[in-house]
């Protein structure tokens, strides 16, 4: 799936289990309620609705999240090293047991 674009799709509630999605691009995708147990290294999430998304035991190293809604989501047991998050809604997100070494978070709403 490397570098495959997932543009303008409705993928609400989808489950991605043991998937290698390294380098995939999710642009303007509705991923609300989706669940990921996957390799998402170098992936890009731009202009996505990811409300209630679940990232459990994932590799999001060097991934980019821009202008996205992750409110109410959860990230557990994750490699977030080098992750860049900007202009995102992180209201009510739960992050636990995550390696955030070198991660960059800016312009986010945490209310």
DSSP 66-108: ES-B-TT-EEEEEE-TT-EEES-B-TT-EEEEEE-TT-EEES-
- Output the pLDDT for position 3: 56
Q: Residues 50, 38, 80, 78: is their CA dihedral positive or negative?
A: positive
Reported as a single tens digit per residue, the pLDDT across 31-79 is 999 999 999 999 999 999 999 999 999 999 999 999 999 999 999 999 9
Q: How far apart are CA 77 and CA 91, in angstroms?
A: 20
pLDDT at 1 over 60: no
Decide if 68 contacts 50 (C-beta within 8 A).
yes
- Output the pLDDT for position 4: 53
pTM of the predicted model over 0.85: yes
């Amino acid at each position: 799936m490397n570098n495959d674009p997932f543009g303008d799709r409705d993928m609400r509630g989808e489950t991605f289990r043991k998937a290698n999605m390294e380098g995939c691009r999710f642009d303007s995708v509705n991923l609300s309620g989706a669940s990921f147990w996957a390799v998402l290294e170098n992936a890009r999430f731009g202009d996505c609705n990811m409300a209630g998304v679940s990232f459990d035991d994932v590799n999001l190293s060097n991934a980019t999240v821009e202008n996205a809604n992750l409110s109410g989501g959860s990230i557990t047991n994750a490699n977030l090293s080098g992750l860049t998050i900007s202009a995102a809604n992180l209201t009510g997100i739960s992050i636990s047991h995550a390696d955030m070494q070198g991660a960059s978070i800016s312009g986010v709403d945490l209310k």
